[in-house]
Amino acid sequence: MTQEEYKKQFSEDDAVGWQAIEGQLKTVYGDAEPRHFGSIIKYMLGGQDPIDGTSIYDSDKQEFHRHFVSYGMSNLYYDEEKAGGEFSGWGFEFTFRLKPFEGDDENPTWVISMMNNLARYVFNSGKWFEENHFVPANGPIRLDTETNIVALVFALDPELGRIQTPHGEVAFLQMVGITQAELDRLMADPTLGAVEKLIDELKKDNPLLITDLNRSF
């Protein structure tokens, strides 16, 4: 898409990238309304949270779980200078699927905090995440919780995949919780191939890669 085509199709009031994300979510959830949590002060205006908002959908696929999708790692708003780019913003948005946990209500906002912590790392360091990366949490991913899930691997969201937006490609990068034993395995062999092999093993019994904080092996 050229700048001229972009200016003809959109106005400065259009949240171009946001609309592209919502369009992809409609292919999975139709007209279902998510529970949406927005930042109080946008990061570009001096707020603390790089992610402008996070939507939580309830999904019955595979087993009941909550599906989180971020808005803020890609270019969300009208920007003719970004028209036709290879990647929109950092080229991805975070997603996460969580099996209900006894310590949570229907809106486990600790997940949003975790996403924002990872987003701050990206914005501050200039280093981004891709498929088959992993990151230790240096403790439980849900703080002050007895769980063996202590790290995250990144996989392409099995339902949302990748989209091409007017600003470039956006991959929906799903964070997947892994155990201490799995983290130890990756620390011994931190190659992309080793992470991919672990993700493929997890998919055999868990194709949507739903994180279960009660999983111990």
Confidence check: pLDDT of 49 > 80: yes
- Mean confidence (pLDDT) of the chain: 95
Domain extent listing, the chain: 3-205
The H or E element spanning position 198 is: helix 192-205
Q: DSSP string covering 149-185, please?
A: EEEEEEEE-TTT-EEEETTEEEEEEEEEEEEHHHHHH
Please write the tens of the pLDDT for every residue from 7-31.
999 999 999 999 999 999 999 999 9
The answer to whether 91 touches 169, Cβ cutoff 8 Å, is yes
Mean pLDDT throughout 116-132?
Answer: 96
